[in-house]
Amino acid sequence: MSRLHAIESKIVTIEEAKRRMATWHMKGNKVVFTNGCFDILHKGHVTYLAKSVALGDQLVVGVNSDASVRRLEKGSDRPINAEAARAFVLASLGVVDLVVVFDEDTPELLIHALEPDVLVKGADYDPNETNPSAKSYIVGSDFVRKRGGEVCVIDMVEGFSTTGIVNKMKQG
């Protein structure tokens, strides 16, 4: 298999992700899930993903579709990179095992479908928040916990954000 094909084979449908995850679970592996836009990949993202996979054996990343990013109101010029490009760049990372693009506003349906062992978000979220209306609530956390899974947060790398990069580019 060529390296290009290896990268492309990591970008899968929900059904294919479920199939591969079932194989991993049969081997006793712990599957970690995280999600985001990952619009302009930077050191903060890569550090976050590496720390995420360290909480288990495989890492599955849910990527917001272009329509989903636009609904998040990150700015009229977002996403910068199309969903296929964002998924491809993520899949090229050795720390990422699968990438699944989702179109909903939140990854809740994807989390329910995939049933990860560990759910990870950045430390701007609160793993103890139980109010789904709270900004710091981690979508899918109740579901993962009810299944016996873990919900974790990872500190962000200071000085790295896609919004900061976009603003810097606009300033010239």
E strand map for 18-149 = 31-36, 58-64, 98-102, 118-122
Q: Is the per-residue pLDDT at 30 higher than 80? A: yes
Q: Is the per-residue pLDDT at 16 higher than 80? A: yes
What pLDDT is recorded for position 117?
98
**Residue carrying the six token digits 């947060």:** 153
When the pLDDT of each residue in the chain is averaged and rounded to a whole number, the result is 92
Report the alpha-carbon distance of residue 8 to residue 20 in Å, rounded. 15
Which CATH number covers residue 163? 3.40.50.620
- Give, for 85, the enclosing helix (H) or strand (E): helix 83-91
Which residue in 86, 111, 54 sits closest to 162, CA to CA?
Answer: 86
What pLDDT is recorded for position 166?
61
What pLDDT is recorded for position 159?
65
| Chain centre to alpha carbon of residue 12 | 14
Structure tokens at 81: 């990179």
The model scores a pTM over 0.85: yes
Report the alpha-carbon distance of residue 37 to residue 151 in Å, rounded. 20
- Going 14 to 94 to 57 to 46, the CA torsion angle's sign is negative
DSSP string, 94-118: TT--EEEEE-SSSSHHHHHHH--SE
What pLDDT is recorded for position 129?
95
Could you tell me the residue range of the domain that residue 110 belongs to?
A: 3-171
Q: Is the per-residue pLDDT at 163 higher than 70? A: no
Total count of domains within the chain: 1
Tens digit of each residue's pLDDT (9 = 90 or more) over 81-140: 999 999 999 999 999 999 999 999 999 999 999 999 999 999 999 999 999 999 999 999
Instruction: Flag the least confident range among 63-67, 77-81, 119-123, 162-166.
Output: 162-166
